[in-house]
Amino acid sequence: MPDDSEWTAPEGSWASSAARRRNMQAIRSRDTKPEQRIRRLVHAQGLRYRVSARPLPDLRRTADMVFRPAKVAVFIDGCYWHGCPEHYVPPRTNSGYWSEKVTRNVTRDRDTDQQLTSAGWLVLRFWEHEPAELCADKIATTVIQRRFSGRN
């Protein structure tokens, strides 16, 4: 394999260099540190959930945490990948591709919210930078309220 200085991106490739490609491939789509912290805190409150599960079997999208009986789907969105209004910084290289990708992600997120809401689910979205304790408390409170109010 050629070293990074000899590598050139194939036509239409999303990576601008071999190093960038390796970096992007190493980014986790699940079990990120913010997700793990929130899950640990929710679990400590006695709640059980599915991880990276499809709330709706016909919808090819997964939520980070799924509480089926309460019909609550939780998403912990990364600031870069989901266009956080506080922290998103457009990339300097291959900016057209990455900006369009983030826009598609945000559009897909809104569509997911709409489809789940139409099916009777409550969608909770948090940014990765939000304090894990506050996120976990909101999740636990919401799930417990929905379980006891009979909103299934």
| Residue given tokens 């991880």 in the structure block | 51
- pLDDT tens-digit series, residues 67-97: 999 999 999 999 988 999 998 888 888 788 8
CA angle 118, 122, 128 (to 5 degrees): 125
- pLDDT band (50, 70, 90) for residue 98: confident
What's the rounded Cα separation, in Å, for the pair 149 and 140? 14
Residue ranges of domains in the chain, CATH in brackets: 1-28 (no CATH), 31-149 (3.40.960.10)
- Is the pLDDT at 36 greater than 80? The verdict is yes
pLDDT at 93 (0 to 100): 80
Average pLDDT over residues 23-40: 78
Query: What residues form DSSP beta bridges with 125?
Result: 75
Dihedrals phi, psi of 95, to nearest 5 degrees: -65, -35
Instruction: Write down the mean pLDDT value for the chain.
Output: 86
Helix and strand numbers (H, E) in the chain are 4, 4
The answer to whether 62 and 54 have CB atoms below 8 angstroms apart is: yes
What's the rounded Cα separation, in Å, for the pair 147 and 152? 7
Amino acid at 110: R
